[in-house]
């Protein structure tokens, strides 16, 4: 079990063994929701787990486990769940093999009929072969069916138990009531084969489920077990660890934030951290989907689970355990695979009445055939066929199997889907709004021009501007600091700095008070641009982002007065492939919009470079107004997606129907978004919509076939066109076909912006 604390209420994940169909899901959910303090419960048949939202209670876990057990199912621990996932492909095949072995002599006479030979095993031998299959191998159906009957509900096990028992009991009755020396037609082979086929179907289903959860196992396998720890200052006497400068292997669970770790060539980084010594190339393909190694040098971020290249490096630990990026990715994929899609509500409604309706149809079939004058045994066999073919296994697996496969393959290519609702909504999106800086552009603007007012020293102003903005993380502020450092200027700590959101900053440097920010802000403060007004307009027309710097002067009049000292022009570049990626979205019939805080000239110039029409560029939008612009786009019934990467994008991401956060951005943006793109590639936006389309299509296909099996099979069985053995085979085939159809999603690869397919990233293909 895993407990996750959210801002609202804690959640608990419980593994559940013994569920077989959609009716089991409904029954477990009902039992969990009856526990006092439970606010919501969602059960997933494909992952065999439940997620419960509850009010804080120290005994809640024990109560929930008991509720699961009382409902007739087995609560599982995380270790048991992981063992089931990692089981051999042939695990659990023993009972199936035994059933097939015992059924073979029963079915062999049917093969003889094809060649005109009428073989028939003695009745006692048929009984001896069929009875162990019915009551030993089939004991699971009686146990689960009994629990369902006690709870006044039904499930697949109850249908199989009733149907096969009826066939077995009918055969015993015909055998014992037959006249001496006669050999009646018995149905032992039907009941035994149905039990065996259902067991075979469940085994194939479990094997397919393990393939569907391969994404989680692949991510979990990225976590190394051991780290090479460098002893901290103080040596063994003070810390209990080896002396400074020596290394020792310790379990990753014992690594602390601030520790220093050696990572050798070809090894995986055990935790997140910062590169302190050495240079290397890092393979981050299993985390971001990017197949090319990334160069790393001093102060670069390192992500746990990625592979070190050719260099021996020393890293400082910044995050461990559940706070690492890899743990966050695993948690997101688990959350998505455990969640229910909105379309699942239809399945839940159907499953709640499915089994009682099937029992009623079986009874009607029995009475109908008797009323038509058919022999009693023929009426019973047709009713048994109705019970067997109507098992709702495929119905319960249709949606979660597709979600597991879709979210798993998306994660493999660097697209993390937070929940099933985002996955289902993404295929409806018809407008995508992009933040500009860091999303459509590289996000590393550089200072291209410093235009100073007459009589002002350029070097002194640049040093003052860099000092004032030295503590800011804004891309333009970093560009000013970088320009000053490139000229060898000293950057000092400013005094009394205050950020003005969406406008700029103000503070003191060496006793002089400055304001740096947008032209509009300084104009609102009454700053006269004088001779530099024309230059500002010219720079904006060229597509530059222009800021201004003003200094406070002492005057006798009340209030502060500022005079213009300089203009600063910044240039940024579109991300490689961004223009083609936007064109790819438009080819899908999706309108693309850019939202920018830049002046109109700079925003429209960048929009033109990206291939955007003037009407699709929103300029001079303050950070707090982005959400309002998203809401405007939603008017008229449009489904809107927002793509961003910064803290100020979080409200807009939350306001959109689907939020997509660039994984190279901030944690706040990723928490607000329904989908996270693990690398800053704009082409992944179209890929996210593509995998959403394909997953929703698989859900609909699966639901169609699940309903079609029953819609076609039940009437055929009721009218005597399906014997119980064929019905059992069709029922087993329905579950396997639904999961197999979902697993076709694993072959999906995102389309590259140049029209070529992006090669899938597999562990075997990763260079070390």
Cβ atoms of residues 587 and 566 within 8 Å: no
Pairwise CA distance, residues 425 & 423, whole Å? 6
DSSP for residue 423: H
Cβ atoms of residues 374 and 250 within 8 Å: no
From residue 210, alpha-carbon distances to 79, 93, 207, 286, 686 in Å are: 15, 14, 5, 19, 29
Pairwise CA distance, residues 656 & 258, whole Å? 38
Phi and psi at residue 276, in whole multiples of 5°?
Answer: -100, -45
If you search the block for the tokens 């489920």, which residue do you land on?
A: 209
Counting beta carbons within 10 angstroms of the beta carbon of residue 132, is it exposed (0 to 12), middle (13 to 18) or buried (19 or more)?
middle
Number of alpha carbons in the 13 Å side-chain half-sphere of residue 86: 10
Cβ atoms of residues 465 and 485 within 8 Å: no
Q: Residue 443 is encoded by which pair of tokens?
A: 């996000």
Pairwise CA distance, residues 54 & 38, whole Å? 4
Give the 3-state DSSP-derived string for 516-570, with helices as H, strands as E and coil as C: EEEHHHHHHCCCCCCCHHHHHHHHHHCCCEEEEEEEEECCCCCCCEEEEEEEEEE
Q: Residue 663 is encoded by which pair of tokens?
A: 């994984």
| C-alpha triplet 675, 677, 680: angle, nearest 5° | 145
DSSP for residue 231: P
Cβ atoms of residues 567 and 448 within 8 Å: no
Pairwise CA distance, residues 462 & 447, whole Å? 11
Q: Which residues pair with 227 in a beta bridge?
A: 250
Q: Residue 223 is encoded by which pair of tokens?
A: 């976590």
Pairwise CA distance, residues 191 & 467, whole Å? 84
Pairwise CA distance, residues 474 & 395, whole Å? 51
- 598 is annotated as an active-site residue: no
Pairwise CA distance, residues 582 & 434, whole Å? 10
Q: Which residues contact 139 (CB under 8 A, 6 or more apart)?
A: none
Q: Which residues pair with 54 in a beta bridge?
A: 38
Pairwise CA distance, residues 106 & 192, whole Å? 9
Cβ atoms of residues 174 and 132 within 8 Å: no
Q: Residue 756 is encoded by which pair of tokens?
A: 């070529």
**754 CB neighbour count, 10 Å cutoff:** 9
Closest CA to 96 of 198, 20, 191, 185: 198
3-class SS of residue 218: helix
Residues in the chain: 768
DSSP for residue 17: E
Closest CA to 312 of 268, 265, 245, 271: 265
Out of 157, 335, 419, 435, the active site residue is: 435
Helix and strand totals (H; E) in the chain: 27, 27
Instruction: Supply the residues annotated as catalytic.
Output: 435
């Amino acid at each position: 079990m895993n407990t996750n604390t959210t801002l609202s209420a804690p959640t608990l994940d419980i593994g559940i063994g013994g569920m077989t169909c959609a009716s089991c899901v409904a029954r477990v959910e009902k039992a969990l929701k009856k526990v006092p303090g439970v606010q919501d419960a969602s059960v997933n048949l494909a992952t065999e787990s439940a997620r419960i939202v509850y009010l804080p209670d120290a005994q809640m876990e024990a109560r929930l486990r008991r509720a699961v057990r009382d409902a007739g199912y087995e609560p599982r621990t995380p270790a048991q769940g992981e063992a089931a996932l990692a089981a051999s492909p042939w695990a659990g095949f023993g009972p199936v093999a035994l059933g097939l072995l015992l059924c073979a002599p029963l079915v062999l006479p049917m093969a003889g009929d094809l060649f005109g030979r009428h073989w028939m095993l003695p009745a006692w031998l048929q009984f001896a072969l069929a009875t162990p299959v019915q009551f030993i191998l089939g004991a699971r159906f009686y146990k689960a069916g009994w629990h369902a009957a006690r709870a006044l509900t039904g499930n697949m096990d109850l249908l199989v138990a009733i149907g096969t028992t009826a066939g077995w009991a009918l055969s015993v009755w015909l055998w014992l009531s037959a006249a001496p020396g006669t050999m009646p037609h018995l149905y032992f082979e039907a009941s035994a084969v149905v039990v065996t086929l259902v067991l075979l179907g469940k085994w194939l289903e479990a094997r397919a489920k393990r393939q569907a959860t391969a994404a989680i196992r692949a991510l979990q396998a990225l976590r190394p077990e051991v780290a090479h720890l460098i002893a901290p200052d103080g040596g063994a006497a003070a810390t209990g660890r080896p002396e400074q400068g020596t290394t020792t292997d310790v379990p990753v669970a014992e690594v602390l934030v601030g520790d220093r770790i050696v990572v050798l060539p070809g090894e995986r980084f055990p935790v997140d951290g910062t590169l302190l010594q050495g240079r290397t190339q890092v393979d981050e393909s299993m985390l971001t989907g990017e197949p090319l190694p990334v160069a790393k040098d001093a102060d670069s971020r390192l992500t746990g689970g990625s592979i070190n290249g050719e260099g021996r490096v020393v890293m400082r630990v910044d995050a461990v355990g559940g706070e690492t990026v890899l743990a966050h990715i695993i948690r997101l994929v688990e959350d998505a695979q455990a969640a229910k899609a909105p379309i699942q509500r239809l399945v839940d409604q159907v499953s709640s009445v499915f089994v009682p309706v099937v029992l009623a149809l079986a009874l009607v079939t029995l009475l109908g055939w008797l009323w038509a004058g058919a022999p009693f045994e023929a009426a019973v066999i047709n009713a048994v066929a109705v019970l067997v073919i109507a098992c709702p296994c495929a119905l319960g697996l249709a949606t979660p199997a597709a979600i597991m496969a879709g979210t798993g393959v998306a994660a493999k290519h660097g697209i993390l889907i937070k929940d099933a609702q985002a996955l289902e909504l993404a295929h409806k999106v018809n407008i995508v709004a992009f933040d500009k800086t860091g999303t459509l552009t590289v996000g590393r603007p550089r200072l291209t021009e410093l235009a100073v007012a007459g009589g002002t020293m350029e070097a002194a102003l640049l040093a003052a501007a860099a000092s004032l903005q030295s503590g800011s993380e804004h891309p333009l502020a970093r560009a000013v600091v970088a320009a000053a450092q490139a000229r060898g200027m000293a950057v000092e700590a400013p005094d009394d700095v205050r950020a003005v959101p969406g406008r700029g900053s103000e503070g003191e440097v060496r006793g002089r008070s400055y304001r740096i920010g947008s032209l509009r802000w300084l104009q609102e403060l009454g700053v006269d641009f004088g001779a530099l007004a024309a230059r500002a307009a010219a720079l904006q027309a060229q597509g530059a982002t222009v800021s201004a710097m003003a200094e406070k002067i002492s005057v006798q009049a009340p209030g502060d007065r500022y005079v213009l000292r300089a203009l600063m022009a910044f240039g940024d570049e579109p991300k490689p492939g961004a223009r083609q990626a936007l064109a790819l979205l438009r080819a899908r019939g999706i309108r693309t919009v850019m939202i920018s805080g830049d002046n109109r000239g700079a925003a429209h110039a960048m929009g033109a470079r990206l291939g955007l029409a003037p009407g699709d560029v929103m300029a001079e939008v303050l950070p707090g107004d982005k959400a309002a612009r998203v809401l405007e786009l939603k008017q008229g019934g449009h489904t809107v997606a927002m793509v961003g990467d910064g803290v100020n994008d979080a409200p807009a991401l939350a306001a959109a129907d689907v939020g997509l956060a660039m994984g190279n951005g901030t944690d706040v943006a990723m928490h607000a978004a329904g989908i996270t793109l693990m690398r800053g590639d704009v082409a992944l936006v179209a890929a996210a919509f593509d995998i959403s389309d394909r997953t929703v299509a698989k859900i609909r296909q699966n639901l169609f076939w699940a309903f079609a099996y029953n819609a076609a099979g039940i009437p055929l069985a009721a009218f005597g066109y399906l014997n119980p053995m064929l019905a059992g085979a069709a029922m087993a085939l329905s579950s396997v076909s639904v999961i197999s159809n979902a697993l076709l999603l694993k072959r999906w690869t995102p389309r590259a912006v140049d029209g070529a397919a992006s090669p899938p990233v597999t562990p075997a293909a990763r260079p070390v």
